[in-house]
């Protein structure tokens, strides 16, 4: 915009007058009609990841400290199904990436298929985690049995809840309109969701390593 004109408009505004509006200073609202630039979703998701990372770091440091000082730590026998769950979750990272790329290439049907597959894998992972919990419970290992089991339930539970949120996001996005004029918004949302999904995969690998190596 030209400076002079803008100033006049703003001075008009100062006294409550009306004038033709200047343009949005940032990339104007996306084709889906949203007024904020698409990049806020990307920024937002990375900030959320920073916060979640702090949360799990706090739990992990509590884990290491608690284990370091204790004389009562008895490692629990990790259910074997956790390996299968890990494979499922890592697989879902691959499928969500495929879905995201298909959408970017303008192939909404393919997107829909792979996106649905990712959702299913996410639910399968959660079901698998539930089986792991049930197995432990059957073996008499409860939350309060031992600090190792307390941390096992806290870490897997916290991760599971985050993943449940991820599944909800996938389901919500699957219902969104992917018609041409809204595709840019959907692409950003899908990208943000997949960043979150990959991150939860990484967190799970770290948790799983922690449980295996420092159990």
Distant-in-sequence, close-in-space partners of 112: CB < 8 Å, separation ≥ 6:
174, 178
* Choices 55-63, 99-107, 113-121, 124-132 (CB under 8 A): range interacting with other proteins: 55-63
Residue 108 buriedness (CB in 10 A; 0-12 / 13-18 / 19+)? middle
CB atoms within 10 A of CB 158: 16
The correct pick among 109, 158, 172, 173 for binding other proteins (CB under 8 A) is 158
Residue 53 buriedness (CB in 10 A; 0-12 / 13-18 / 19+)? middle
With binding defined as CB under 8 A, does residue 36 bind other proteins? yes
Identify which of residues 42 and 120 has a Cβ nearer to other proteins in the complex: 42
The gap between the terminal CA atoms of the chain, to the nearest Å, is 62
With binding defined as CB under 8 A, does residue 72 bind other proteins? yes
Please, what's the largest Cα pairwise distance for the chain?
77
The residue among 192, 193, 163, 189 whose CA lies nearest residue 177 is 189
The correct pick among 10, 127, 139, 168 for binding other proteins (CB under 8 A) is 10
With binding defined as CB under 8 A, does residue 71 bind other proteins? yes
* Choices 43-51, 176-184, 185-193, 200-208 (CB under 8 A): range interacting with other proteins: 43-51
* Choices 63-71, 91-99, 124-132, 205-213 (CB under 8 A): range interacting with other proteins: 63-71
Residues within the interface to other proteins (CB under 8 A): 1, 3-4, 6-7, 9-11, 13-16, 18-26, 28-29, 33-37, 39-40, 43-44, 47-48, 50-52, 54-59, 62, 65-66, 69-73, 143-144, 147, 150, 154, 158
């Amino acid at each position: 915009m030209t400076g002079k004109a803008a100033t006049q408009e703003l001075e008009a505004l100062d006294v409550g007058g009306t004038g033709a509006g200047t343009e949005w200073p940032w990339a104007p609202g996306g084709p889906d009609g949203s007024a904020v630039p698409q990049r806020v979703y990307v920024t937002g998701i990375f900030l959320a990841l920073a916060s979640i990372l702090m949360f799990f770091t706090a739990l992990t440091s509590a884990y290491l400290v608690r284990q370091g000082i204790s004389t009562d730590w008895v490692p629990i026998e990790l259910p074997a199904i956790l390996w299968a769950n890990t494979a499922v979750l890592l697989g879902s990272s691959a499928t969500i990436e495929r879905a995201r790329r298909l959408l970017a290439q303008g192939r909404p049907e393919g997107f829909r298929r792979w996106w649905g597959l990712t959702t299913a894998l996410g639910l399968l992972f959660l079901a698998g985690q539930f089986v792991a919990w049930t197995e432990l419970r059957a073996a008499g290992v409860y939350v309060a049995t031992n600090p190792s089991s307390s941390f096992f339930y806290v870490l897997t539970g916290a991760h599971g809840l985050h993943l449940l949120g991820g599944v909800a996001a996938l389901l919500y996005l699957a219902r969104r309109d992917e018609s041409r004029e809204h595709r840019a918004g959907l692409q950003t949302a899908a990208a943000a969701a997949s960043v979150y999904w990959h991150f939860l995969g990484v967190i799970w690998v770290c948790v799983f390593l922690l449980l295996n190596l420092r159990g």
